[in-house]
Structure formats: C-alpha cells, structure tokens
C-alpha cells in the first residue's frame, strides 16, 4: 500500500525537497517498490497543510489506510515521505502492530533495499551496509520492545536487561560502522590514487555519464564503447562505476577518452546514500566533462523534474558547473518534431549543447563525440613547451591528444605550441617555456598535480563532512 502526502504549506514542501508532483512521485514509488520485488495493491493520498507530529497523516487517514490494508490482506505500507523513527513505530502499531507482521517503510528504506539487492562489488556492498546501519541505528529501539518491557517499572538504579541489550546492540553497530568507515576510507584512497594515476599516466580526458536512474546511461556506454555493462529496465541497475577507454567518432582534440558509467540519481536521494557512496560519486566530481543523459521518451514535465533532480544531486556533491553536454536519449520513441521542441526548451533552460540519440538503435551517436570534442576544446589549454627528446612519450601524447599550432626542433628537444586537454597539460608542466604561455588566464586556474592530491585529501574531506553535517540535522523526537 502506497501513501502519498501533499503538503500544501509552501515552505514545508520546499523543506521536503520535493520537485515532482505528488502523482508522478507516487508512480515512481510504485516502480521502486516493484524493483524491490513487491506488488502494489493500492495508493492512498492526502493533502495536508502540515504533517501531523505523531503519524504524519491525519487520524482519519490512518484508519482508512488500516481498513484498505486489511481488505487487501497487505502487510507493508510505504510512505512517499521521510518518516521519523517514532512516526514509523506509531504507524506500525496503528495498522495492526508487529503481531500481524505489519511493516511501515519510507522512500529511503525502499531505495536502500534496492541498493542492497543490486550491490555487486565488495565496495558497493560496504557502501550499502554503512548506509543501512546509518538508517537503522535511530530505529533500533523497536526491535527490542519485548526486552524493554521487562524493565518497564524499573526506574533509576533498576535498569533491566532490555535496556542493556539495546545499549549493547547500539555499541555493536557503532563498532561495525567505524570498521566499515575505515574499510571505505581504504577503498576510497585506492580509488583516488587510481584516478590520479589515470589522470597523470593515461592522460586522457575523463568523461562521466550521469543522469536520472533508467535514463539509459549503461546502454549508451555499451553503444559507444562496444562493452557489455549491465543495462536493464530497472531502477538503479548500476551501482558500481565502470570506466572504459573509448574512441568516439567526432573526437578530434583527443581521439580517445575515458568514459565512466555511474550510479543513477533520483529525487530526494537519501542522505545516507550520498555520504556512503561518496567514493563512487567522486568519479563524477573528478570528471573533466559530464554527459547528462536524459530520457526524452518521458512526459515533458517529468523529464524537466528529473533534470532538476539531477542538478540538485550535482549541487549536493559539489559537481555543479562542470562543462556538460546534454544527451536526449531514447529518441526512437519520440517524433522528430517533439525532439526539435525539446532542443529549444533545453537551450532555453540551461543554454547547453544537446543532441538527440537512441542508444538502442544507434541513431545520432556520432554527434555525441562531436559535442564532447567541442567542450574539450573549450576547456583545453594553450601551452608552449620544449619537450626533451628523451620524452618521446609526451611528444606523441601531444600529437595524439592535442592540436598542434607550431612545432620546431631545437637542441634541447621538440619546441611545440599546442592546445591540449587539462590532464596532459599537467604532464607538460615541467617543460613549459615559462614566460610565453599563450593562454595565461586558463593555465592559472589549472589543477596541478599537487592540487589534485590536495583535492582528494584534506579539502575534499571537509567538503564531504560539511555536507554530512548539513544534511544530518538531529531529529526533534526522542528515540524512546
Ligand atoms: N527504446 C529505447 N530504450 C532504451 C534506450 N536506451 C536505453 N533504453 C532502455 O532503457 C532501460 C534502462 O537502460 P539502462 O542503460 O539500464 O539505464 P541506466 O541509466 O544505466 O539506469 P540505472 O543504471 O538503473 O540508473 C533499458 O530497458 C534499456 O533497454 C533507447 O535509446 N531507446
Ligand atoms: Mg546503468
């Protein structure tokens, strides 16, 4: 049974972070429930000025949900809002209690469950486990109600076994969480070293495919690189990033790029997931260019909402404002006229370059390379360097990844003026002809190797913990 609440008081709606209309949001919730392996038997909605403190929905509605659930012999109720642990407990009791096996879940719990089912790699599993514990810790009391009852009449000095058990349990979970965090730090360190190595050695520009879940990112990766990453008509099919070397048609500046497929975004992405999946999401933060994949076959309004949700997540992880290309995918399901209109709308909305493609049929794919090439050109840097003859590898990298404006052979090495992607620029830095950098402005703002190391170190740490602090406001209710 799904329950949606429309909060009419505006400021509250904003605080909820909802951008979707209530019915579209419930449609999505139904798809999430199906992805998690459930069958939806009914949907109940309520319009409220503000949520009730104890049950979120009004008393009459609680009875209505209970009746409907009984009639359908249904034991799980999913709310399309974030419930506090206390509200969750109260609602469970109201709907028939634990004896009847009644469970009340919210959107976050549902998404966490799907993630737990889909996590394939060790890293993914660690991330999901941490997020699950973070979600469960404040809800722990209810698992031990039978023990708590034993200490009911106790009072000071007479703490019963139930309470002790609860404390033991909390402590065990806290210990486990610390261990998970340490393990994840290791993974994360490994990942950032890998990325750094990729930037410094492979030197290819990194392009990340991002977008709402089910937009077709994995299908596009497969179509562009001939690989076989899992693509499925399910939400959150991809959890672990895959990176492939790709030589797209239309790429000239750097004929090859590294293309990364990432986890899909969703409206109101649970905070626990953003924090736990930061190692994965850093792939996005670190990319040179983003390719925002949009499902163009959706209802126009839903498509706009999804794009807004993606922008919000980018903001949340500190990756907004990156050079971006918009890919309107599933064009095989849209008429030419509609596609044309969408183009205009998107240009109006964000002034970004966009292209309509079908990852399924291959239509328009060559355009993706052309647009990425344009963006790479915009962010490429003019350099002048004398590369010693002993560094033939660098010279050939400039040939293959940059466009050469002038070249001369001097005693110390090859003297070149060229436009190169930022990553290659870093490697050429030791050989710069200092006073004559053609495009001074741009080079100034460049990541040097040191800055990259810094970015994955302290500064970055602060950014993420700030985020966690901001989003993890303590709840008002007590946990008793
Ligand atoms: N008709 C049509 N279907 C497509 C196209 N691209 C992808 N699909 C379908 O859309 C569904 C989702 O595709 P995925 O590539 O798994 O989407 P994703 O963005 O990677 O999704 P998550 O990893 O779950 O976030 C699959 O059923 C694909 O077959 C397309 O161009 N046309
Ligand atoms: Mg995918």
The preferred substitution site among 216, 332, 360 for testing ligand 1, maximizing ligand atoms within 8 Å of CB, is: 216
Six-digit token pair at 240?
Answer: 């672990």
Which residue has better confidence, 227 or 68?
A: 68
For the residues 288-298, what does the mean pLDDT come to?
A: 93
Atom of ligand 1 at shortest range from CA of 232: 16
Q: What is the mean pLDDT of residues 447-467?
A: 39
Task: Give per-residue pLDDT as tens, 179-234.
Answer: 998 998 888 888 888 777 776 666 678 899 999 999 999 999 999 988 877 888 87
Cα 22 to middle of ligand 1, angstroms:
24
pLDDT of the residue at 30: 94
Q: What is the mean pLDDT of the chain?
A: 80
- pTM summary value: 0.78
The whole-number pLDDT of residue 18 equals 65
Count of alpha carbons within 13 angstroms of residue 399, beta-carbon side: 9
Q: Whose CA is nearest to atom 16 of ligand 1?
A: 231
Beta bridge partners of 381: 420
Count of residues in the chain:
480
The residue contributing the CA closest to ligand 1 atom 7 is 216
Domains parsed from the chain with CATH numbers: 2-116 (3.40.50.11060), 204-378 (3.40.50.300), 380-447 (3.30.70)
When pLDDT is cut at 50, 70 and 90, the band that residue 354 belongs to is: confident
Residue among 208, 214, 241 whose CB has most ligand 1 atoms within 8 A, to mutate: 214
Tell me: pLDDT of 441 over 70.
no
Task: Evaluate: CB of 236 within 6 angstroms of ligand 1.
Answer: yes
Measured by CA distance, the residue closest to atom 2 of ligand 1 is: 330
Instruction: Tell me what pLDDT residue 43 has.
Output: 95
Residues with Cβ within 8 Å of 218's Cβ and at least 6 positions away in sequence, in order, are: 229, 230, 231, 237, 238, 242, 261
Q: CA nearest 232: which of 334, 363, 113, 117? A: 117
Note the pLDDT tens digit of each residue in 461-474: 444 444 444 444 44
Query: Which residues does the annotation place in the binding site for Mg(2+)?
Result: 218, 238
Residue numbers in the known binding site are 211-218, 236-240, 261-264, 329-332
Helices (DSSP H) in 73-216: which residue ranges?
85-94, 107-118, 122-136, 145-150, 161-197
Poorest-pLDDT segment among 111-120, 379-388, 410-419, 453-462: 453-462
Provide the pLDDT for residue 453. 33
Is there an atom of ligand 1 within 6 Å of 235 CB?
A: yes
With vertex at residue 161, the alpha carbon angle to CA 155 and CA 167, rounded to the nearest 5 degrees, is 90
Between residues 165 and 95, which one has the greater pLDDT? 95
């Amino acid at each position: 049974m799904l329950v949606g609440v429309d909060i009419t008081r505006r400021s509250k709606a904003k605080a909820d972070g909802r951008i979707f209309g209530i019915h579209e949001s419930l449609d999505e919730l139904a798809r999430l429930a199906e992805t998690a392996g459930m069958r939806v038997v009914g949907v109940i909605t309520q319009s409220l000025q503000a949520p009730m403190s104890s049950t979120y929905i009004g008393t009459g509605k609680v009875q209505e949900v209970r009746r409907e659930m009984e009639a359908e012999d249904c034991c799980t109720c999913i709310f399309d809002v974030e419930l506090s642990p206390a509200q969750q407990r109260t609602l469970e009791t109201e709907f028939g209690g634990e004896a009847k096996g009644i469970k009340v879940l919210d959107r976050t719990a549902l998404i966490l469950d799907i993630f737990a089912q889909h996590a394939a790699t060790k890293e993914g599993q660690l991330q999901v486990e941490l997020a699950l514990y973070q979600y469960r810790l404040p809800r722990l009391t209810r698992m031990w109600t039978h023990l708590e009852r034993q200490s009911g009449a106790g009072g000071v000095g007479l703490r019963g076994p139930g309470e002790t058990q609860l404390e033991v349990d909390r402590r065990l979970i806290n210990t486990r969480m610390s261990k998970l965090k340490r393990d994840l730090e290791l993974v994360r360190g490994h990942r950032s070293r890998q990325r750094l190595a990729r930037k410094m050695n492979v030197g290819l520009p990194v392009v990340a495919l991002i977008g709402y879940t089910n937009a077709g990112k994995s299908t596009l990766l497969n179509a562009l690189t001939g690989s076989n990453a899992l693509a499925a008509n399910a939400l959150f099919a991809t959890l672990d990033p895959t990176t492939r070397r790709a030589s797209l048609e239309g790429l000239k500046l750097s004929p090859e790029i590294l293309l990364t497929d990432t986890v899909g975004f969703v409206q109101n992405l649970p905070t626990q997931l953003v924090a736990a999946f930061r190692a994965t999401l850093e792939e996005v933060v670190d990319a040179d260019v983003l390719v925002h994949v949009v499902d163009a076959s959706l209802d126009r309004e839903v498509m706009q909402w999804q794009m807004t949700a993606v922008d919000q997540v980018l903001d949340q992880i500190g990756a907004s404002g990156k050079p971006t290309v918009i890919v309107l995918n599933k064009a095989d399901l849209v008429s030419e006229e509609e596609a044309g209109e969408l183009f205009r709308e998107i240009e109006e909305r964000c002034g970004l370059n966009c292209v309509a493609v079908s990852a399924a049929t291959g239509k328009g794919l060559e355009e993706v390379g052309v647009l990425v090439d344009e963006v790479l050109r915009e962010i490429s840097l003019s350099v002048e360097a004398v590369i010693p003859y002993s560094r033939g590898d660098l010279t050939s990298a400039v040939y293959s990844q940059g466009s050469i404006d002038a070249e001369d052979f001097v005693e110390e090495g090859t003297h070149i003026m060229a436009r190169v992607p930022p990553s290659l620029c870093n490697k050429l830095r030791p050989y710069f002809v200092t006073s004559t950098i053609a495009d001074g402005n741009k080079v100034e703002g460049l990541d040097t190797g040191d800055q990259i190391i810094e970015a994955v170190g302290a500064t970055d740490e602060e950014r993420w913990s700030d985020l966690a602090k901001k989003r993890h406001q303590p709840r008002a209710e007590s946990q008793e």
